């Protein structure tokens, strides 16, 4: 029986599955957005040794269904920033990204933040626009592993200023 997707904070036991979701999500990005060499390089970045430390220092959400991770995201709400989000290709266009984003928005609203910002990869711009984010212009994302990923800076106002 298929259960409804649920959200929770990940644990160390989720790390390998999360990294597999990340890699699959990146490999599913169309080469109409990035050259295939860039996609492969981005997908094959090694998991940082301190990856699980992020669970304690920034807001992390895991989405699972039937105890299987199907999407996840990081946000640093101390600076109103969604850092990353990945959804398994098997779950694309089924509301998982919206579920995670909505939860970050709720967390930000609970902290009385005025807005959320992010650097969207080119393939996700339309998704974020549909969720109410506005484009603030193209920017290079300097990946910690030494390559640039063209991105779009985006913002969503959560309350009137």
**Which of 9, 145, 157, 161 has its CA nearest to residue 73?**
9
**Which of 159, 24, 157 has its CA nearest to residue 96?**
24
CA atoms within 13 Å, Cβ hemisphere of 112 = 0
Distance CA 107, CA 76 (A): 11
Q: Is 67 helix (H, G, I), strand (E, B) or coil?
A: coil
pLDDT tens-digit map of 12-67: 999 999 999 999 999 999 989 999 999 999 999 989 888 888 888 899 999 999 99
Structural domains in the chain plus CATH codes:
6-113 (3.40.630.30)
pLDDT tens-digit map of 52-81: 888 888 999 999 999 999 999 999 999 999
**Which of 105, 111, 120 has its CA nearest to residue 156?**
105
């Amino acid at each position: 029986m298929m259960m409804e997707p649920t959200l929770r904070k990940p644990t160390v036991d989720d790390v390998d599955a999360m990294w597999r979701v990340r890699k699959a999500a990146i490999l599913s990005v169309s080469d109409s957005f990035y050259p295939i060499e860039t996609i492969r390089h981005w997908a094959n970045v090694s998991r940082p040794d301190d990856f699980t430390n992020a669970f304690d220092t920034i807001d992390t959400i895991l989405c699972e269904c039937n105890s299987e991770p199907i999407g996840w995201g990081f946000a640093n709400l101390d600076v109103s920033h969604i850092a990353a989000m990945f959804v398994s290709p098997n779950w694309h266009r089924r509301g998982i990204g919206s579920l995670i984003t909505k939860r970050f928005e709720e967390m930000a609203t609970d902290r009385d933040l005025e807005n959320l910002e992010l650097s969207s990869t080119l393939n996700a711009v339309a998704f974020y626009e549909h969720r109410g984010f506005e484009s603030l212009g193209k920017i290079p994302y300097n990946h910690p592993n030494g390559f640039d990923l063209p991105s779009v800076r985006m913002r969503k106002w959560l309350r009137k200023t």
